[in-house]
Amino acid sequence: MKALDKAIQLRESGHLEEARSILLELVDQEPMNPSVWYQFAWIHDVMGLEGAAVPYYKKALELGLMDKERQGAYLGLGSTFRTLGMYNEAQLILDEAIKEYPDQREFQVFYAMVKFNQKEYKESTEILLKQLAETSNDIGIQTYKKAILFYSNKLDQIWK
């Protein structure tokens, strides 16, 4: 088993220190491997070391991380910025991710959380209502999907 795969498996099974140790060695051995930097960021996030994860997410993206890992790094970095109270940075990263991956709805949901943190409650709720209406399989939500979508951006409008 490759060292990177082993580190991922260890992280997934909750052996965080052991996974981090392997990843620390890999960062030294493969400094140009964006996947290693991404996993290194992720392990720091999981360990509650969000501040330490930021430069590693950035490095992974700078080195050209691709596909699902790129999406994960965008989400990880945006979410980490948000949890650190760096809302403008989170918004910028998530804006970038939404432009690059417009069909990946998770970015919209995390963007809504940032909008909430920025006290933009109307926009936050609008985003979440649209995501709910467009993705839920719940029969009740689907029955009222058209109304939910219609009212999603008219929450403070009074009808007379």
Q: Where are the domains of the chain?
A: 3-119, 121-160
Q: DSSP string of 98-157?
A: HHH-TT-HHHHHHHHHHHHHTT-HHHHHHHHHHHHHHH---HHHHHTHHHHHHHTT-TT-
Q: How do residues 121-144 score in pLDDT, each as one tens digit? A: 999 999 999 999 999 999 999 999
Q: Which CATH number fits domain 3-119: 3.30.390.50, 1.25.40.10, 1.10.40.30, 1.10.3980.10?
A: 1.25.40.10
Q: How far apart are the C-alpha atoms of 130 and 111, rounded to whole Å? A: 13
Same fold, 3-119 and 121-160: yes
In total, the chain counts a number of residues equal to 160
- Extract the tokens encoding 128: 């979440």
The pLDDT confidence band at residue 159, using thresholds 50, 70 and 90, is confident
Task: Output the pTM of the full model.
Answer: 0.92
Q: Does pLDDT of 85 surpass 80? A: yes
* 57 burial level (CB within 10 Å; 0-12, 13-18, 19+): buried
Tens of pLDDT, residue by residue over 17-56, are 999 999 999 999 999 999 999 999 999 999 999 999 999 9
The DSSP secondary-structure symbol of 33 reads -
Query: Which CATH architecture group holds 121-160?
Result: Alpha Horseshoe (1.25)
Task: Tell me what the mean pLDDT of segment 93-122 comes to.
Answer: 97
